[in-house]
Amino acid sequence: WKRPKVEQRKASDLLIETLRIQTVVEVHEEMLEEYKVKPKTTPGIVDCFDLTQNFRKLINDDSRSDPNLSVFSGVRFIMIYWIILGHEYILCLFLASNLQDLEDLTSGPIISYIFGAEYAVDVFFFMSGFFFVYVFQKRFGAGGPRFIDYPLIVLHRILRIIPTYVVVALFLWKVIPFLGSGPFWQAFVESTNRSCTNSAWSDFLFINNLLISNVLANDCIGWGWYLACDSQIFILMPIFMALLLKSRLLGKATITGLLVASLVYSFFLSETYGFQALGATGMSEDYFTKYYLVPWTRAPPYLFGVLVGLWYIEERGRLSEKLARSRILQLVSAAVGILTMYWMIKITEPLFKDPNAYTRLQNSLIVSLSRTVFVAGLTALLLPGLVGSKLLQDLLGNNFFHVLSKLTFSTYLIHLVVILFIYSSVFLTHYEMFSRSLGSTVISFAIALLLSVFVELPFANLERILLKR
């Protein structure tokens, strides 16, 4: 048996073949690397509408850089529910089938708590002022923004509000009419169509509160007056912040002076037109157009929030040490706050029994001062939490409230659409109203979740890309 001949190859040929194979492999690896999908360092436009990402952002609790501010989460939820409950009662006055019982219902002690929901709006004004100065200071620091940043600040706010605002208005105007029926439905559809046709443009320009006297009856999104009023104050705030950056003392004195001037103006306005405390037994057209809807009379809680925000940034360290060491000081502060808010709510109760219970002077004092006093009481209640009290932070800042607080903007926009949709003929009792308000709240928050994930958060992400924030 003979071994077969094997072709002998030179070492140099083997080396050349090896190098050729290695070169081919390297070329293929480079091609694969070139076409390999690389992780994105910045989100694209399509990613802004990623539902999974937006929902994760909604429930994520890692974004809170300051745990002391978590107490505002519970406040937001409680205040939005109070507003929904108040609106339930107001609408029932027009739609209830047992108006003969109205006197008994409005003369009881509970009614002052219901219509005290007016204060909830002032709490949102207060929080707007607080967080404006807090975010402004945190972002721009002691140096302040550049001149070009001021229009971008305003643009940022408009872009955050308008998409959800437009979607809710179109839903009310063009979709809701095809979804319902009932004894009041046709009148509701005709009224909505007429109002939105005539006034939707003023809503989106944030001037409806200055142009329309009866916003609930004649405006497309009548309750959007708050957004207009808040935005009008917001637009002027960078001017005062620029003044604060030049002189802390002069800036604070100017803001305090504006607050006092607004209170004095409200007092003389009430004296002139005879307004009743918080419109408890009737809201005249003068009350709405000259006092309730306009920024120059609703600004005090906002400006008070700015002053509290400045204090929080500058002084909380020194006070927190004292409060942290003293449980008694914490309890005293919270007790003073609760009693102050309770007093402001109960002060209107006599007017439901007797519209002439207070003199003109007493009514004017309540009209001008009560809203600011109420948010001052809320500040005293929250003060222990703002300087580190774990009890208040756990109570008002838990994850449940934190998630729902992110939905309060969308909930505010949609809640009256829900209430108007589900109402037909209503039998008016306190039990009926509380149960209905809970249902309206759940439905409003459920729709608000969809609005937040599908509209508000995607456009917020898009706005960050457009402004490169």
Instruction: State residue 393's pLDDT score.
Output: 84
d(CA 293, CA 285): 11
Residue with tokens 């500040």: 379
Instruction: State residue 176's pLDDT score.
Output: 84
Instruction: State residue 100's pLDDT score.
Output: 57
Which residue has better confidence, 310 or 177?
310
pLDDT over 90 for what percent of the chain? 28
Least confident of 32-46, 56-70, 450-464: 32-46
416-422: average pLDDT: 81
Which residue has better confidence, 48 or 410?
410
Q: What is the pLDDT of residues 214-258, one digit of tens each?
A: 656 677 888 899 999 999 999 988 888 888 888 888 889 999 999
Which residue has better confidence, 302 or 421?
302
CB 336 within 8 A of CB 400: no
Query: Which residues, in sequence order, are CB contacts of 241 under 8 Å at separation 6+?
Result: 133, 136, 144, 251
- Mean pLDDT of all residues belonging to the chain: 80
15-27: average pLDDT: 52
pLDDT over 70 for what percent of the chain? 76
Greatest distance between any 2 Cα atoms in the chain: 131
Which residue has better confidence, 452 or 129?
129
Instruction: State residue 283's pLDDT score.
Output: 65
d(CA 114, CA 392): 25
Q: What is the pLDDT of residues 363-383, one digit of tens each?
A: 999 999 999 999 999 999 999
273-300: average pLDDT: 82
pLDDT at 15 over 60: no
CB 252 within 8 A of CB 307: yes
pTM equals: 0.83
Q: What is the pLDDT of residues 178-226, one digit of tens each?
A: 887 766 677 778 888 888 888 889 899 999 888 866 656 677 888 899 9
